[in-house]
Amino acid sequence: MIEIENLRKEYRQRDRTVVALDGVSLTVRPGEIFGVVGQSGAGKSTLIRCVNLLERPTSGVVRVNGQDMTRLRGAELRRARQRIGMIFQHFNLLSSRTVAENVALPLEVMGYPRRERQRRVAELLALVGLEDRADAYPAQLSGGQKQRVGIARALAAEPAVLLSDEATSALDPETTQSILALLRDLNQRLGLTILLITHEMGVVKEICHRVAVLEAGRIVESGTVAELASRPGSHLATTLFPRPALNGNRPDGLLATLTFVGAAADAPVMTTLVRQFSVDVNVLSGSIELVQGERIGQLQVALSGDRIDEALEWLRGQGLGVEVH
Ligand SMILES: Nc1ncnc2c1ncn2[C@@H]1O[C@H](COP(=O)(O)OP(=O)(O)OP(=O)(O)O)[C@@H](O)[C@H]1O
């Protein structure tokens, strides 16, 4: 569990102050995968680095499993950090150490006896599917394998939470899928709580239970992917589910995007629209996607008739997202 309250981070430079985080509050629930997205410079790295105090917040509170990280210093902070795993875009492996030795590093720092270390490293390498590469050096591994080593190392001390800093940004799409599948599996099997930052929308769709959008140091939207998909005016929704272009042909009638989530996707709403409200429906485009087991459908339609307002109200009442353009 990660609780962030009113977090502010200023970087003081000689002649100016940069406000990287400006009152950020969010909670990552136990066992949840929470994504933070935002453009370059939005403050994502600063946010994640404030959770394990790699950056000290200017003000605000960061609690990890109930412990206020901002109050800790020295040995106490080091101990608390051991309960927080972190993985990085460029893996941050030591090139002079083998895979097994890289994974063993946090255990050495924590003073685990040799035998215990070996047992735990073998367990971790099996967990990430690298049992047969224990003696390889990082230079002999693919990007995906390097990230698996990074994940094994991050989990060495059995952390309660994992921070992921653009962990798939340097990987090709297929490898990205396999790393995301591994993270999802670890989340489910170990109940691992994950806070990840990314600029890749595919990552959000693939594994995040909830997501927040960071813009100039502030959270401007947050919710589940399904909630955001059907929220009119959501910028994230239009990025996650791009509306097809109409190629300059604006059809007659009222142009609207209808979003169906889960059970709403099964209801015969179009038929009702025509029969009950005498509304003509011209379907311009449509798509349906499976996002984390839930169907999210979108229809772009042009509606005409005298009772459109009533029909739109009825659609909203059926749980559809209705965005009029
Ligand atoms: N050490 C630093 N000193 C001064 N300013 C900094 C420092 N680190 C970050 N910043 C500034 O803080 C703001 C947020 O940066 P941050 O790296 O957190 O954003 P980001 O969303 O992670 O971007 P990117 O994806 O490009 O890394 C930016 O304006 C950046 O220039």
Instruction: Examine the domain organization and report whether 142 and 201 are in the same domain.
Output: yes
Nearest ligand 1 atom to the CA of 45 is 22
Instruction: Examine the domain organization and report whether 131 and 269 are in the same domain.
Output: no
Q: What is the pLDDT of residue 286?
A: 85
Q: 109-148, pLDDT tens digit by residue?
A: 999 999 999 999 999 999 999 999 999 999 999 999 999 9
| 235, part of any domain | no
Query: How many structural domains comprise the chain?
Result: 2
Domain ends where: 164, 195, 225? 225
Q: Is 42 in the pocket of ligand 1 (CB under 6 A)?
A: yes
Instruction: Examine the domain organization and report whether 24 and 129 are in the same domain.
Output: yes
Taking CA atoms only, the protein residue closest to ligand 1 atom 28 is: 41
| pLDDT at 264 exceeding the cut of 70 | no
Instruction: Examine the domain organization and report whether 31 and 170 are in the same domain.
Output: yes
Q: Is the ipTM of this complex over 0.90?
A: yes
Cα(56) to ligand 1 centroid in Å equals 14
Q: Is 43 in the pocket of ligand 1 (CB under 6 A)?
A: yes
Q: What is the mean pLDDT of residues 245-256?
A: 77
Domain ends where: 162, 197, 225? 225
| pLDDT at 269 exceeding the cut of 90 | no
Q: 10-19, pLDDT tens digit by residue?
A: 999 889 999 9
Instruction: Examine the domain organization and report whether 171 and 120 are in the same domain.
Output: yes
Q: 82-116, pLDDT tens digit by residue?
A: 889 999 999 999 999 999 999 999 999 999 999 99
Q: What is the pLDDT of residue 244?
A: 67
| 233, part of any domain | no
Number of residues written out for the chain: 325
Strand partners for 28:
2
Q: Is 38 in the pocket of ligand 1 (CB under 6 A)?
A: yes
CATH number for position 281: 3.30.70.260
Instruction: Examine the domain organization and report whether 171 and 261 are in the same domain.
Output: no
| Residue 76 CB neighbours (<10 A) | 12
Q: What is the pLDDT of residue 247?
A: 66
Nearest ligand 1 atom to the CA of 38 is 21
Q: Is the pTM of this model over 0.95?
A: no
Instruction: Examine the domain organization and report whether 54 and 126 are in the same domain.
Output: yes
pLDDT range class, residue 261, cuts 50, 70, 90: confident
Instruction: Examine the domain organization and report whether 208 and 308 are in the same domain.
Output: no
Cα(320) to ligand 1 centroid in Å equals 38
Q: What is the pLDDT of residue 233?
A: 79
| 116, part of any domain | yes
Instruction: Examine the domain organization and report whether 273 and 199 are in the same domain.
Output: no
Instruction: Report in angstroms the alpha-carbon separations of 182 from 72, 105, 175, 186, 188.
Output: 32, 22, 11, 6, 10
Q: Is 44 in the pocket of ligand 1 (CB under 6 A)?
A: yes
Instruction: Examine the domain organization and report whether 161 and 303 are in the same domain.
Output: no
Domain of residue 289 covers: 241-324
Cα(6) to ligand 1 centroid in Å equals 18
CATH number for position 113: 3.40.50.300
| pLDDT at 293 exceeding the cut of 90 | no
| 60, part of any domain | yes
